[in-house]
Amino acid sequence: MTSEGLNENKPLVDNKLLPVMREAIITVQMLLFKELRQSVHDRYVDQAEPHHTHLAGAVINNLFGTQPVDDAVTVFAVSNRELVERELREIAERCQVLLPLLTDALRMKTICDNHEGVHSIPSLLMAKALGILQEERPLPLPSTFMLQVRTLAASHGLIEPMQAAPPPEEPPA
């Protein structure tokens, strides 16, 4: 058997890596939530909470093809379908800085989902139609993606920045 034959059955992503990648994807969703919620708050000053939170949550759930944990968000999304769709159409313009990371997160989510037997290509197709998916962007290695997410999340105060490990102690002579 050749080494090429061995690689044919090798999964694209190691099972041990999936939970870590999913955590990075959720962190991207948290970053987008923070940006959208602030944007919604600034634009819909006549609305009181939880309107801003529900709208941002509904947009993110729709974009990533996820089910809301909170039933109130589901009710809000159904009751405000046109508003949610308008916010989706405006993500590419309002969140330009996050587009590379959103592209990577949506792609990584599709890879993770595919590995688990879930078909989530529609999320990518919707992101493409909305101008969010940067097709020319190369797919990063999982480690690169996770490091980029961690760095941006730390800069937004969502997580603690990574600290360099202290140098090893010299053994006694």
Using DSSP, how many helices (H) and how many strands (E) does the chain show?
8, 0
Q: For 58-99, how does the pLDDT look when each residue is reduced to its tens digit (9 = 90+)?
A: 999 999 999 888 899 999 999 999 999 999 999 999 999 999
- Which pTM was predicted? 0.82
Q: Contact 31/98 with Cβ under 8 angstroms?
A: yes
Q: For 108-129, how does the pLDDT look when each residue is reduced to its tens digit (9 = 90+)?
A: 999 999 988 899 899 999 999 9
**Cα(28)–Cα(73) distance, rounded to whole angstroms?**
19
Is the bond preceding 50 in cis, omega lying within 30 degrees of 0? yes
Q: 45: number of CA atoms within 13 Å, CB side?
A: 2
153 compared with 87, residue with greater pLDDT: 87
107 has pLDDT over 70 = yes
Structural tokens at position 71: 């039933």
Domain definitions of the chain by residue range: 16-155
Task: For residues 7-18, give the mean pLDDT.
Answer: 64
Q: Contact 59/44 with Cβ under 8 angstroms?
A: no
For residue 52, name the pLDDT band (cuts at 50, 70, 90).
very high
Quick one: pLDDT at residue 67? 87
pLDDT over 90 percentage in the chain = 67
**CA end-to-end distance (rounded Å), the chain:** 51
